[in-house]
Amino acid sequence: MSNNGADLTFGYISCFVAILLFGSNFVPLKKFDTGDGMFLQWVLCAAIWLVALVVNLILHCPKFWPFAMLGGCIWATGNIAVVPIIKTIGLGLGILIWGSFNALTGWASSRFGWFGLDAEEVSNPLLNYIGAGLSVVSAFIFLFIKSEIPNNTCSVDTTPLITEPVINKTQDPCSWVDKLSTVHHRIVGCSLAVISGVLYGSTFVPIIYIKDHSKRNDSIYAGASQYDLDYVFAHFSGIFLTSTVYFLAYCIAMKNSPKLYPEAVLPGFLSGVLWAIATCCWFIANHSLSAVISFPIITAGPGFIAAMWGVFMFKEIKGLQNYLLMILAFCIILTGALCTAFSKI
């Protein structure tokens, strides 16, 4: 097999592992109360940074580019909204919105050269457009998949992995999002999901910018590494630094009485490790395939994996209609992934 063929194979395998882990990283947290998410965010990001430290040592500490930290700052800023999004509109609709904007922003920025990037060319642009479009269409299927759960917003044990939670107004609110009206839940949740999606889709821009400008002798990034994984430590350091700043600001806002959830520490740490490994695989896929290929594939699959957890592990998704919708979603995801994959060949 040629080096190019080996790179493509390795890239597609990395995409599969990333999809599997991104679709599973919330599972350890399902049975635990995460409150407003600020403490969980910090625990998760600490785990992410430790994984990056291990990867950095394995790679013999490649040159640290501070600008690559900006991507981590962008991601952490988008991620602080995840728990409020889940509490207001559910993970299913959240994935639909932030996943769609994530896919489109990441794909378009590489395909058309936004933010000062070099436009990525593919062998078959039409297949690439179809694949990117299907990755967004597939997300809409999950909007119609319903979970069977009791009415309880305070316990994450009753929070579905796929659909919108039922708001029980008779209970005392557990966080600021539970004080919102039903209409405001929708508005706030959808708005936050759009913002998060755009930020998620921009997270790799600084790294790709460095790589593109490393080929220019007049650039300060001349000679920078072309291997995406060499930037993981800087990227994840930006995540941890930003989340720490946000958590300290949160502590100040709460007058040094932040809401801490000790029982969520180990599950949150495990969730962070799974996310970090998945993102490392995404870095590898970006290197082997380019972001214009990896983004549509990786952003389309996690919702389906989460649905599988809902069916086989938590038994919260039942009924022939839900199963047929999941099969349809899988077919669309597979078709989109194949179109995107073959557009590279």
The whole-angstrom separation of Cα 84 and Cα 178 is 9
| Tokens matching residue 73 | 């700052």
The whole-angstrom separation of Cα 206 and Cα 203 is 7
Query: What is the DSSP secondary-structure string of 299-316?
Result: HHSHHHHHHHHHHHTS--
Confidence at residue 116, expressed as pLDDT on a 0 to 100 scale: 81
pTM of the predicted protein model: 0.79
Phi-psi region of 153 (alpha: psi -120 to 50; beta: other; left: phi over 0): alpha
Q: What is the pLDDT of residues 136-156, one digit of tens each?
A: 777 677 667 665 544 444 444
The mean pLDDT of the chain is 80
Confidence at residue 114, expressed as pLDDT on a 0 to 100 scale: 83
Confidence at residue 171, expressed as pLDDT on a 0 to 100 scale: 40
The whole-angstrom separation of Cα 310 and Cα 25 is 13
**329 or 63, which is more confident?**
63
Q: What is the pLDDT of residues 225-250, one digit of tens each?
A: 999 999 999 999 999 999 999 999 99
Please list the alpha-helical segments (H only) found in 37-81: 38-58, 69-79
Give 187's contacts (C-beta < 8 A, 6+ positions apart). Answer: none
For the chain, domain boundaries: 3-342
Lowest mean pLDDT among 54-68, 204-218, 320-334: 320-334
